[in-house]
């Protein structure tokens, strides 16, 4: 890596106006040999979302500085703004789906509830489904049909058909992600938790006080804590701290921002407090972490 983690935009060779693409995973190796301006094996930050489906082989995928193991039948969900890197063996096969926010919001019905979804709730859920998590093999047929439709020469209703298939895929995956919420109460609390999460994403720079978010939601601090404990098994403050650490790591790894600038951007009054906060949660200073990704 030269100076910073590359920011990767959505781009494709075909000018079909569809902000969506699916292709065999093996093709990613070919694109990595000169067609891309970044290496897929090194960390890069995407401004679109991905779904990776493994049909053969096993290996690891790195997402937001964590390693996740995959195998045949695994499905990996990567959201916009996440940092990832591939560790693909030459015999790994499957499909990779790329799509933008525009595609989701303009075409997929499920997008209307994505703000309350557990599917891309990567702050609290693992981004990967492994075969043991999946009750049937229906995902292969859905993804294969999406690939067939995308390659179909007749463009009549292509976008609508792909959208319908993607909606089906999202809903099936969402059902699996929600099965970990055992009780009716936990499932009911998934929506207010997502409201809290979305408020945090918008306001973390101005407040990291859980009581402030409870007030924004017109609920008590205790109720907000109960929501987080039911959905995550952690308090609201623990979730806020975890979110701030992840955002800090992303900024440190993907930009040349100074520690002083980042201190204020993350809502801290002075660098000393910010550095203590980061070190308490990661056992290293922001500068030490930055050196790992700024080689």
- Contact at 8 Å (CB) between 126 and 177? no
Residue 229 falls within a domain, yes or no? yes
Residue 2 falls within a domain, yes or no? no
Q: Is 180 helix (H, G, I), strand (E, B) or coil?
A: coil
Tell me which residue range forms the domain holding 101. Answer: 7-178
Q: CA 168 to CA 173: how far, in whole Å?
A: 9
CA nearest neighbour of 43 among 62, 16, 56, 21:
62
Q: Is 105 helix (H, G, I), strand (E, B) or coil?
A: helix
Looking at the structure of the chain, the number of domains it has is 2
Same domain, 161 and 193: no
Among residues 144, 163, 178, the one where a domain terminates is 178
pLDDT for 4: 66
Name the E strands within the chain. Answer: 7-8, 20-24, 44-46, 49-56, 59-63, 66-70, 75-78, 83-87, 93-99, 128-129
Residue 1 falls within a domain, yes or no? no
Q: Which residues pair with 85 in a beta bridge?
A: 62
Q: Which residues pair with 66 in a beta bridge?
A: 63
Q: CA 159 to CA 162: how far, in whole Å?
A: 5
Among residues 116, 151, 178, the one where a domain terminates is 178
Q: Domain containing 26 — which CATH number?
A: 2.60.120.280
Same domain, 273 and 287: yes
Q: CA 125 to CA 75: how far, in whole Å?
A: 14
CA nearest neighbour of 175 among 131, 140, 134:
134
Q: CA 125 to CA 113: how far, in whole Å?
A: 17
Q: Domain containing 264 — which CATH number?
A: 1.10.10.60
* Backbone dihedral angles phi then psi of residue 285, each to the nearest 5 degrees: -80, 165
CB neighbours of 259 closer than 8 A, spacing ≥ 6?
271, 274, 275, 286, 287
Q: CA 243 to CA 132: how far, in whole Å?
A: 28
pLDDT for 2: 43
Same domain, 43 and 66: yes
Q: CA 74 to CA 131: how far, in whole Å?
A: 6
Residue 204 falls within a domain, yes or no? yes
Same domain, 137 and 26: yes
pLDDT for 196: 93
Q: Which residues pair with 76 in a beta bridge?
A: 52, 128
Per-10-residue mean pLDDT of the chain, 295 residues long, equals: 70 81 87 69 88 93 92 92 86 93 78 60 79 82 95 91 92 80 66 89 93 97 93 91 92 85 92 96 93 70
Among residues 131, 156, 178, the one where a domain terminates is 178
CA nearest neighbour of 178 among 103, 244, 116, 112:
116
Same domain, 27 and 145: yes
Going by the DSSP 8-state scheme, the letter that residue 181 receives in this structure is: -
Let me know how long the chain is: 295
Same domain, 113 and 12: yes
Same domain, 157 and 28: yes
- Contact at 8 Å (CB) between 286 and 247? no
Q: CA 2 to CA 176: how far, in whole Å?
A: 40
Residue 20 falls within a domain, yes or no? yes
Same domain, 201 and 65: no
Q: CA 153 to CA 15: how far, in whole Å?
A: 14
């Amino acid at each position: 890596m030269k100076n910073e983690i590359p920011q990767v935009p959505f781009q494709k060779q075909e000018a079909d106006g569809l902000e969506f693409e699916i292709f065999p995973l093996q093709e990613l190796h070919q694109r990595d040999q000169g067609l891309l301006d970044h290496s897929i094996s090194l960390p890069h930050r995407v401004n679109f979302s991905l779904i990776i489906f493994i049909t053969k082989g096993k290996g690891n995928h790195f997402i937001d500085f964590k390693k996740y193991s995959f195998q045949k039948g695994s499905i990996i969900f990567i959201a916009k703004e996440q940092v990832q890197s591939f560790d693909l063996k030459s015999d790994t096969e499957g499909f990779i789906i790329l799509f933008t926010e525009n595609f989701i919001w303009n075409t997929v019905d499920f997008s209307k509830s994505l703000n309350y979804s557990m599917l891309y709730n990567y702050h609290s859920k693992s981004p990967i489904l492994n075969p043991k998590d999946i009750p049937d093999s229906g995902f292969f047929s859905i993804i294969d049909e999406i690939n067939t439709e995308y390659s179909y020469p007749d463009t009549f209703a292509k976008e609508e058909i792909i959208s319908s298939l993607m909606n089906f895929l999202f809903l099936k995956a969402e059902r699996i992600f929600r099965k970990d919420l055992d009780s009716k109460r936990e499932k009911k609390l998934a929506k207010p938790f997502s409201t809290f999460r979305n408020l945090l994403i918008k306001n973390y720079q101005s407040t990291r006080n859980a009581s402030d978010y409870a007030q924004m939601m017109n609920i008590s601090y205790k109720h907000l804590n109960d929501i987080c404990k039911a959905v995550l098994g952690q308090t609201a403050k623990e979730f806020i701290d975890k979110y701030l650490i992840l955002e800090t790591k992303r900024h440190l790894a993907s930009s040349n921002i100074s520690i002083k600038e980042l201190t204020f951007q993350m809502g801290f009054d002075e660098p000393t407090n910010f550095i203590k906060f980061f070190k308490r949660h990661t056992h290293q200073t922001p500068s030490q972490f930055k050196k790992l990704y700024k080689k």
